[in-house]
Amino acid sequence: MRRWNGWGDDSFSLGLPRTGEDFLAARIGHSSALQDVTLASVCAKVPQSRLGQGRPAGIELTTDAETRVRHARGQSLPDWLAMRSGQIDCFPDAVAFPRSSSEVRELLAFASANSLHLIPYGGGTSVAGHINPLDLGHPVITVSMVAMNRLLDLDPASQVATFGAGTTGPQVESQLRAHGLTLGHFPQSFELSTIGGWVASRSSGQQSLRYGRTSPPPAPGPTCAS
């Protein structure tokens, strides 16, 4: 399972080698690691959802504490410090999991009719606070794109592909590989970030200089839209 307060998966751990520890100690001195809070202790601090009784019909939506914690912050250094210390000042009131663009439209209409704030959430890799809820006096629904993760259309002649906005980098490549194609877009956050986030941020990526950039100028290879 994805680590709740850091990068990567719970099953993978890469410790700092002794040479690295010696390097740091020689420059900043010896120190002891801070004690991380537990997921359970953070969940216990999550306030009751401010979302009323109304729910958008047919759309998966949850208000449970753990899901709200896992969608509360991104991957910046301040986010990591907040998550590992448990000092989180605001949580989404609910997390929605739409499965299609029509369900996204329903959520937008529901939010407009009920004075709700929506936050789109792809891979949760933002380092600029884009996905962090703010307490502005209205309930907040984080809209996870995780269920919109499929190749929807592919034109072999033009090599134009259409993906769901929540398709992660590995999912994009595996679905294109079945057709003998690659997008060739490999940002540093490739394993977790989504094609919707790439398009929204005009992502380039450290291994995408030759082809596969989502920002101009256009490059060879299939072009994918969220």
Transcribe 102-153 into DSSP letters: HHHHHHHHHHHHHT-EEEEESSS--SSSTT----SSS-EEEEE-TT--SEEE
- What number of CA atoms fall less than 13 Å from residue 223's CA on the CB side? 11
> In one letter, which amino acid is 177?
R
Condensed to tens digits (0 to 9), the pLDDT of residues 140-162 reads 999 999 999 999 999 999 999 99
Condensed to tens digits (0 to 9), the pLDDT of residues 73-97 reads 999 999 999 999 999 999 999 999 9
Contact between 119 and 92 under an 8 Å Cβ cutoff? The reply is yes
CA distance 167 to 122: 8
Q: Which residues contact residue 184 at a Cβ distance below 8 angstroms, ignoring those fewer than 6 apart?
A: 208, 210, 211, 212, 219, 221
Pick from 61, 65, 68: nearest CA to 124: 68
Q: How is domain 151-225 classified at the architecture level of CATH?
A: 2-Layer Sandwich (3.30)
CATH class of the domain comprising 35-144: alpha beta
0.95 exceeded by the pTM? no
Condensed to tens digits (0 to 9), the pLDDT of residues 123-141 reads 999 999 999 999 999 999 9
What are the residues facing 155 on neighbouring strands? 160
Tell me phi and psi for residue 141, to 5 degrees: -115, 120
- The pLDDT tens digits along the chain (226 residues) read 788 888 888 787 778 888 998 998 999 998 777 788 999 999 999 999 999 888 888 899 999 999 999 999 999 999 999 999 999 999 999 999 999 999 999 999 999 999 999 999 999 999 999 999 999 999 999 999 999 999 999 999 999 999 999 999 999 999 999 999 988 888 889 999 999 999 988 887 776 666 667 765 454 555 444 4
Cite the residue boundaries of each domain of the chain with CATH code 3.30.465.10.
151-225
CA distance 172 to 33: 38
Q: Print burial letters for 190-220: b (CB count within 10 Å at least 16), e (below 16).
A: bebbbbbbbbebebebeebeeebbbeeeebe
CA distances from 162 to 7, 30, 40, 158 (A): 28, 52, 39, 12
Neighbour tally for 31: CB within 10 Å: 8
Residue 117, class by beta-carbon neighbours within 10 Å (0-12 exposed, 13-18 middle, 19+ buried)? middle
Cite the residue boundaries of each domain of the chain with CATH code 3.30.43.10.
35-144
> In one letter, which amino acid is 165?
A
